[in-house]
């Protein structure tokens, strides 16, 4: 499965071009990880959630929406992804979204999913960054997609955008990507399990009423 078409190199560039990154930067990045876990035979670094602001951690919140249960809604301004559940609730995930000039909005569906996906930088990216490899194998510690990728299509056509994991937990809650929605690796695994092929997705600039009410009335609780 081909990786993101519009993604920048994420943490992959930092790792592939390690000489250009200072030691303090690596030390800061390392603090976002703590220990390892094994998933489908692949060992990966676990997110150190003690270093993550609580608002970005996966949790159940009150959520008011006319969208059907099972729909995924992304609030790009506030950096949250909501999976709508029953009883006016949703699982809320902190996410990283597109940088200025790379944001996108609209409806799509998850029409393909990949476990430990291969990442293939598109030709235009390799022209800008000739140091990049032709591809990075799934499960590689340098793969910017992480353990899962969910591929967003519109009218049967691949948009080039994905939900996926990240090498940079510190980018969650920020405008950091080239349009794809980044998640903590553990959250990408969780969402992958909850979203079957055909899941409806809506990406919005800002969820006014639903998110505002959810923030005001919810007693958020962690989701394991």
Q: For 19-42, how does the pLDDT look when each residue is reduced to its tens digit (9 = 90+)?
A: 333 344 444 567 899 999 999 999
Mean pLDDT score, 142-165: 94
Asked if 144 contacts 166 with a C-beta cutoff of 8 angstroms, the reply is yes
- What are the CA-CA distances from residue 38 to residues 34, 45, 223 (Å)? 13, 9, 20
d(CA 214, CA 224): 20
Tell which residue, 164, 163, 178, 154, has the closest CA to residue 13: 178
* pLDDT tens for each residue of 34-86: 999 999 999 999 999 999 999 999 999 999 989 999 999 999 999 999 999 99
User: Would you call 180 a catalytic residue per the annotation?
Assistant: yes
d(CA 219, CA 115): 33
Of 79, 180, 195, 206, the active-site residue reads 180
Please compute Rg for the chain using Cα positions: 17
CATH hierarchy code of domain 10-222: 2.40.440.10
The residues pairing with 61 across neighbouring beta strands, listed in sequence order, are 90
**Model confidence, pTM:** 0.80
- What are the CA-CA distances from residue 120 to residues 9, 52, 136, 173, 199 (Å)? 10, 29, 6, 25, 24
Tell which residue, 143, 224, 146, has the closest CA to residue 185: 146
> How does residue 93 score in pLDDT terms, banded at 50, 70 and 90?
very high
Given CA atoms 185, 103, 126, 152 in this order, what sign does their dihedral have?
Answer: positive
d(CA 2, CA 166): 16
User: Would you call 164 a catalytic residue per the annotation?
Assistant: yes
Of 129, 164, 195, 206, the active-site residue reads 164
């Amino acid at each position: 499965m081909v990786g993101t078409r519009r993604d920048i190199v994420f943490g992959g560039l930092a790792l592939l071009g390690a000489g250009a990154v200072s030691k303090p930067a690596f030390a800061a990045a390392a603090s976002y990880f703590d220990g390892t876990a094994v998933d489908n035979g692949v060992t990966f670094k676990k997110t150190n959630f003690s270093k993550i602001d609580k608002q970005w951690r996966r949790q159940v919140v009150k959520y008011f929406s006319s969208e059907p249960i099972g729909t995924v809604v992304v609030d790009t301004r506030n950096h949250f992804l909501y999976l709508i559940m029953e009883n006016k609730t949703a699982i809320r995930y902190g996410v990283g979204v597109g940088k200025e000039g790379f944001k996108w909005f609209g409806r799509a569906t998850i029409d393909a999913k990949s476990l430990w996906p291969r990442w293939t930088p598109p030709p235009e990216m390799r022209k800008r960054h000739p140091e990049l490899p032709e591809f990075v194998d799934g499960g590689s510690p340098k793969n910017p997609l992480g353990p899962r990728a969910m591929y967003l299509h519109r009218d049967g056509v691949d948009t080039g955008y994905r939900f996926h994991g990240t090498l940079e937990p510190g980018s969650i809650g920020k405008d950091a990507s080239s349009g794809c929605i980044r998640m903590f690796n553990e959250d990408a695994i969780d969402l992958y399990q909850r979203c079957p092929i055909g899941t409806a997705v809506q990406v919005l600039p800002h969820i006014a009423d639903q998110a505002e009410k959810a923030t005001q009335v919810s007693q958020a609780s962690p989701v394991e």
